[in-house]
Amino acid sequence: MKNARVFWGWMLLVLMFAAAIGSPTLAQTAEEQYVIGTYNIHIGKGMDGKLDLKRIANVIQTNKADVIGLQEVDRLTTRCQRIDQIAELKKLTNKEGVFGKSIDYQGGEYGIGILTSGRILKSEHRLFPEGKEDERRSFIAAQIELGEDAVFWALNTHLSLVAEDRAAQAKILLDYAKSLPGPVLIFGDFNDTPDGKIGIYNNFKEFFDDVWAATAAEPQSQKGFTFRADKPYARIDYIWISKNCGWQPISSRIPQTQASDHLPLFATIKKIK
């Protein structure tokens, strides 16, 4: 009996040792992935007409965004009670952020921004050339470190309502994005549908992957519509990621919320081993 107990004791140790060798550790199995998003926040004004940045922050936090591009952001304007909206959203979401002014408005500024749970290494804001539209447009580029070996360039924009201006702006943005090293993320309200006559979508698709088209579970039923929030009928908000950059989109979603007149778009990207 004693010998049998010793034998089975040794067998148990051998099996445990074999299992430990054959099984990957937690660090080995953990996948490096991040949530990215784009959201035209309509200065925080919901479909009910109420201005409420806490609702916007809740959407961002609920969806666990690591990087998100925001459009239609106010800074110190009269209509927004002199609130610096990016500064306020930074506090509400506990993230770093940058703002870029497109125009002066009501004693303050109106433009675009980026929020991230990572570290902003550097950023640049550029105005597009003046066009036919009265409202000036711009884009932000920020180099963001989300983790070890996870450094991205994130670009965010809000393109013109005027087709001729929009086409020129898109070309400038695309050329800039193509010049950047490493993985590039592009967020924005393009004010243009995938079948738009001026061909913006196809131009970007040549160099970048459209995360919604790559991952949507029901592309035919929902079609990626993000505008209007109450009755979505148009796909004009996009997230793009560099092709063959070592990262791939694995899922995307469009949460239903009335916090703005647009719906947000979120995607999860994963590092390719």
List the domains of the chain with CATH numbers: 33-271 (3.60.10.10)
Torsion sign across C-alpha atoms 61, 62, 63, 64: positive
Distance CA 13, CA 148 (A): 36
| pTM for this predicted structure | 0.88
How high is the pLDDT of residue 208? 98
Q: What is the DSSP string of 156-169?
A: EEE--SSHHHHHHH
What are the strands of the beta sheet with 247-253, ordered from one edge?
96-105, 108-116, 67-75, 33-40, 265-271, 247-253
How high is the pLDDT of residue 4? 53
Distance CA 131, CA 127 (A): 11
How high is the pLDDT of residue 83? 98
Residue ranges in the chain modelled with pLDDT below 50: 6, 14-29
The vertex-245 CA angle with 239 and 251, nearest 5°, equals 45
How high is the pLDDT of residue 31? 75
**Tokens 């959203």 identify what position?**
89
